[in-house]
Amino acid sequence: MQRPSRPSRLASGSILLASAALASCAAPTSDGGGVLVAIETDLTVPASLDTLQVELKDEAGTRFAQSYVLPKDAALPATLVLDVGGNGTTTKGSLTPGAVAVGKTGSPLSVTVRGLLGGKVVVAREAQLALPADDRKLPIALASACLGKTCGAGSTCDAGQCVELAVDVTRLPVVR
């Protein structure tokens, strides 16, 4: 999976984040597909958001759980590459790990991203999907419209609205 070109800042002044903090990851080491988790926010770093928590679960349980303190001059994006069915070899870069072995193509994956300020969760987003056979990009938005919003079971906040957790992986953009 090649890293997509660096996106520009969004018109609203938001910063594009990708699952953790600072930049570069290498491609997965397996022959299977993968998921590039791309987190974006319209919250100001660090005034409204100073830490990210990222958690990945598959049918075997939690495969990855990490918190990242965002520097005030965060020059994001960064990437987290999920290595589907691979050996989980991590790659060098500012994001650890660079690849996470999470299961076989078609198996379920849950991605949870929480934005914190002063140690308290201010916004969260979750997605559930089946691992793809090819490389796909999963956008996760931590939107100011979701600050303090609570959604019912089986749903998550997206742009101020409660939506289903389930993501149709075939509708995600292919990463080339």
pTM of the prediction?
0.75
pLDDT for 21-37, tens place per residue?
A: 222 232 333 446 788 88
Q: Where are the domains of the chain?
A: 15-171
Are the C-beta atoms of residues 37 and 55 closer than 8 Å to each other?
no
- CA distances (Å), origin 103, targets 21, 31, 48, 55, 84: 24, 13, 35, 15, 6
Q: Which residues pair with 46 in a beta bridge?
A: none
CB atoms within 10 A of CB 72: 9
- CA distances (Å), origin 167, targets 94, 104, 121: 28, 17, 23
pLDDT for 81-138, tens place per residue?
A: 555 444 444 333 334 445 677 778 888 999 999 999 999 999 999 999 998 888 888 8
